[in-house]
Structure 1
Amino acid sequence: MPTIGENAPPHRQPEENSRHGRLTVRPGPPVAASTRSGLVPFDEPAGEPLALAYVPEPADGRPYHLALLLHGAGGSSRQALDLMLPVADEQRMLLVAPQSTAATWDMIGFGFGPDVRRIDRVLLEVLAAYPVTDMLIGGFSDGASYALSIGLINGDIFDTVLAFSPGFAAPLVTHGMPRVYVSHGTADRVLPIDPCSRRLVPRLRALGYDVTFDEFNGGHDVPEAIVRRAVDQLYPIA
């Protein structure tokens, strides 16, 4: 699959749909206010886990910042949720972490499709139940590559993309110009920084994206200090 800067010019294709990574969901007023807070699971009728959310306590009807979080290969929705749990309450961030339909995200295996539709479904449920003022998408490792790809494709929906240790970005189409935050450990042996973020970030900037890039002394992980630095840039006043 072509990646940013490698035969993937931003453009619009006719009849865009889930096969292009395109989401149909759009933010709007909730249909019915939900009173559920804390950890909120979303499951199939047969019990298969679709996603896990964390909802801070309501505060006088104030809307939330929504963060769609994507786990790494072989990971879980709970692991993705844990990325930003330390900042969720203080920043009123409603965290939504889908579970991929396979071991990793569809784009990386065989192309956009089932995971895009699952994300659409989960976001529709969440937005129908809770007031949201803006949305970001983020992830770690394979989840970061997927967040970058889905975020650039749907930059008219997501204001910001957070990519913690990404490998690449492969949007088939692009919309909008979301802010991008990338972090990467200089000692990462899983996705080494030189062929990954140090190559990806200049390509994104050349395409006009506003990119913040944080390198840190560490391996293939997401230190809490990096998460706080990313969120502080997004929401300097809680």
Structure 2
Amino acid sequence: MTEPAPPHRQPEEGHRHGRLATRPVAVATPGPPGLTSILDPEGGTPALRYVPTDGAGPYRLVVLLHGAGGSARQGLDLLLPLADAHRLLLLAPQADASSWDLIAEGYGPDVRRIDSLLGAAFGAYPVAGVALGGFSDGASYALSLGLTNGDLVDAVLAFSPGFAAPLVSHGRPRVFVSHGTDDRVLPVDVCSRRLVPRLHTLGYPVEYAEFAGGHEVPASIRQRAVDWLAGGRDQ
């Protein structure tokens, strides 16, 4: 892992390294609240965006990534019930293939897609803090992108991840990891129980929550994750 970098993309790094180029900007007139389907500029399945109904910012923006074979709606639903109470602006893209590009062939179309979604959200809504989150393969992708882009992303929510594989790293985002002790898809012994100590060794602040259950995200874990995310604003 490299040392933290200044808050901008290095000239030799780009989407093929998992780097996100967009950054928040000042917004004079926020866009509308509610749930919106966003057309994919590359012609893929539309993404989803949810803006809290109070219509006022700034918001904590969270990109939510579905598991293998999942949908943007499944990603959005990870935190949708908690969005209004915690002022979360949610973005849920759809992977180009059955899972995210890193897991199939390496960074590429999904990084570009997420960067485009972020750029549109930054241009339309006031944002104070960016987090990445996901479940299963989406959690592994959120971790990998989050560690790569810690100069933009200040927190990662990884629900039942398998691994983290950044090609480069910047910054030191906070990390929340949860995992079921009876997970038969991504067993906790070979996944989070190895991953979390490694992240600690590398200097990342990690909150780890194991629970009695399988490959899932219980409501209590979602609430704990959002409470943890909100608590970081006061640190």
Please, what TM-score do these two structures have when normalized by structure 2? 0.92
Deviations 1:163-222 (A, max 9, x none): 000000000000000000000000000000000000000000000000010000000000
C-alpha contact (below 8 Å) 1:31/1:128 kept by paired residues: no
Q: Which of 166, 190, 209 does residue 171 from structure 1 map onto?
A: 166
Question: Equivalent residue for 2:186?
Answer: 191
Correspondence 1:111 to 2:145: no
Aligned sequence identity (%): 60
Correspondence 1:69 to 2:61: no
Q: 1:105 & 1:180 partners in 2: Cα distance?
A: 20
Equivalenced residue count is 228
Once the two structures are superposed, the pairs formed by residues 34-183 of structure 1 within 5 Å of their partners are 34-35=31-32, 37-44=33-40, 48-59=44-55, 61-183=56-178
Deviations 1:34-69 (A, max 9, x none): 12x22111014797433101111244x431110100
Unaligned runs of 5+ in 2: none
Correspondence 1:229 to 2:196: no
Letter in 2 for 1:10: T
What RMSD, in angstroms, separates the aligned Cα atoms of the two structures? 1.9
C-alpha contact (below 8 Å) 2:57/2:125 kept by paired residues: no
Give the secondary-structure state (helix, strand or coil) at the position aligned to 1:235: helix
Is the deviation greater in 61-70 or in 216-225? 61-70
Correspondence 1:214 to 2:229: no
Q: How many angstroms does 1:33 deviate by?
A: 2.5
C-alpha contact (below 8 Å) 2:18/2:111 kept by paired residues: yes
C-alpha contact (below 8 Å) 1:41/1:49 kept by paired residues: no
C-alpha contact (below 8 Å) 1:50/1:122 kept by paired residues: no
Letter in 1 for 2:30: A
C-alpha contact (below 8 Å) 1:186/1:219 kept by paired residues: yes
